[in-house]
């Protein structure tokens, strides 16, 4: 797992007023759980950009008042209007204790279904896994080479060494749907777990043109012609 260093200071004063004052100075209030006690600290918002605005997951080396801790980001809160970082939760990491992390998914291989004209529908881009930090990869690779049209891959189909996936086993991760399916035969054409995905595709597709459009154009043209004739008669 990639590593990122962040320097901060342990907070001596806690409370809403103190948190507001920190944010005005462009510092982010944080807390780290999982150790002997919870540690409240703050760091400048610029230090979190590489941690937050990326799909990558980092193990963070927190240097707080000369003491170094290893942690992973667990949760983050943004302002609902400005998207300003309000608060970040971390979990302290120990090399002999398991930790829960959300790892990004990477699809590999060329799906048979895609080569036949199907469309890919990825439902999950991250999976929640539990294990030792030394066993955590940067990405969870999923090979979709054998995935045909109408087929899907669920969490229960996945397996990674020394890692336990905590998401529901029946939840779909990725599926391939036909680009030519219509709503009438949808439920017969697809397995149950990808019906919802294909239904979304039909809803997103363009509505086929009707035969009324040319008639409407002719009517508009007729109106325009009659108005011109009236104009010339008046002249």
Per the domain annotation, does 230 fall within a domain?
no
Q: What is residue 182's predicted lDDT score, i.e. its pLDDT? A: 33
What CATH number has the domain bearing residue 81?
2.40.240.10
150, 176 Cβ separation under 8 angstroms: yes
136 and 65 assigned to the same domain = no
User: Average pLDDT in the 126-146 region?
Assistant: 94
Torsion angle, alpha carbons of 22, 25, 26, 28, to 10: -10
Q: What is the pLDDT of residues 34-72, one digit of tens each?
A: 888 999 999 999 999 889 888 889 999 999 988 999 999
For tokens 């760091």, the residue is 43
Sheet holding 119-122, edge to edge: 119-122, 172-177, 152-154
Question: How far is Cα 205 from Cα 178, in angstroms, rounded to an integer?
Answer: 12
Burial class for 157, CB neighbours closer than 10 Å (0-12, 13-18, 19+): exposed
Per the domain annotation, does 7 fall within a domain?
yes
75 and 140 assigned to the same domain = no
Domain holding 130, by residue range, is: 100-204
Per the domain annotation, does 175 fall within a domain?
yes
Q: What is the pLDDT of residues 66-108, one digit of tens each?
A: 899 999 999 999 989 888 899 999 999 999 999 999 999 999 9
58 and 142 assigned to the same domain = no
Q: What is residue 53's predicted lDDT score, i.e. its pLDDT? A: 86
Per the domain annotation, does 220 fall within a domain?
no
Last residue of a domain, one of 32, 61, 93: 93
105 and 85 assigned to the same domain = no
Instruction: Determine if residue 171 is left, alpha or beta; phi over 0 gives left, psi from -120 to 50 gives alpha, anything else beta.
Output: beta
Residue 58: name the closest of 98, 97, 9, 5 by CA: 5
Last residue of a domain, one of 60, 93, 126: 93
124 and 186 assigned to the same domain = yes
Q: Is 216 helix (H, G, I), strand (E, B) or coil?
A: helix
């Amino acid at each position: 797992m990639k590593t990122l260093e962040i320097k901060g200071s342990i907070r001596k004063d806690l409370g809403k007023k103190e948190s507001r004052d920190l944010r005005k100075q462009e510092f982010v209030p944080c807390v780290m759980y999982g150790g002997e006690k919870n540690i409240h600290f703050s760091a400048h918002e610029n230090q979190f950009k590489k941690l937050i605005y990326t799909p990558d997951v980092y193990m963070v080396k927190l240097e707080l008042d000369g003491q170094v801790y290893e942690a992973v980001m667990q949760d983050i809160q943004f302002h609902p209007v400005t998207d300003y970082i309000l608060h970040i939760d971390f979990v302290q990491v120990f090399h002999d204790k398991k930790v829960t992390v959300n790892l990004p998914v990477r699809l590999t291989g060329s799906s048979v279904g895609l080569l036949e004209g199907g469309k890919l529908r990825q439902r999950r881009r991250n999976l929640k896994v539990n294990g030792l930090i030394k066993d955590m990869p940067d990405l969870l690779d999923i090979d979709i080479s054998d995935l045909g049209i109408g087929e899907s891959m669920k969490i229960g189909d996945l397996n990674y060494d020394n890692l336990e996936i905590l998401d529901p086993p029946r939840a779909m991760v990725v599926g391939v749907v036909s680009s030519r399916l219509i709503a009438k035969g949808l439920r017969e054409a697809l397995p149950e777990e990808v019906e919802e995905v294909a239904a979304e595709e039909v809803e997103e597709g363009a509505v086929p043109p009707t035969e009324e459009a040319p008639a409407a154009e002719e009517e508009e043209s007729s109106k325009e012609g009659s108005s011109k004739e009236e104009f010339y008669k008046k002249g």
